[in-house]
Amino acid sequence: MRGPPRKALAHLIEPPLVTFILTGISFAGKSVLARTMSDVTGLAVVDPDRVGHEMGLGLSGELLSDSQWATIHRESERRARLLLREGQSLIYDTTSFTRAQRE
């Protein structure tokens, strides 16, 4: 008798993908925690602030428009999806400015 297909048992063999989402108000320590978690686990960190800087936005401390933030978040989410498609767990480090965004 043949056993179940390997794919059916994959969750027992391969570790699950995990996304740690760190969110909250500015200067709460999320980025420090994300870096520490990354150092310990080796997981990639997706940080919209860093993504924005890589895109040349907010480098001089200027306020960004809602449209610019939307572009940054789309790119950050694209990067997170790519990591997951590649089989990599990740840490997503983002700021939520309002209570509604945090919930």
Structural domain contains residue 9: no
Under DSSP, the state recorded for 29 is S
The CATH number covering residue 89 comes to 3.40.50.300
Structural domain contains residue 72: yes
Structural domain contains residue 8: no
Distance CA(92)–CA(73), nearest Å, equals: 11
pLDDT digits (tens, 9 = 90+) for 42-73: 999 999 999 999 999 988 888 899 899 999 99
Structural domain contains residue 79: yes
Structural domain contains residue 6: no
Strand 19-24 versus strand 44-46 pairing type = unpaired
Mean per-residue pLDDT over the chain, rounded = 86
Structural domain contains residue 67: yes
Token pair recorded at residue 7: 């794919």
In degrees and rounded to multiples of 5, residue 43 shows phi and psi of: -75, 150
Structural domain contains residue 1: no
Structural domain contains residue 55: yes
In total, how many domains does the chain have?
A: 1
Greatest Cα pair distance in the chain: 67
pLDDT digits (tens, 9 = 90+) for 19-28: 999 998 888 8
Residue span of the structural domain in which 50 resides: 16-97
Q: What is the pTM of this model?
A: 0.77
CB atoms near residue 93 (< 10 Å): 24
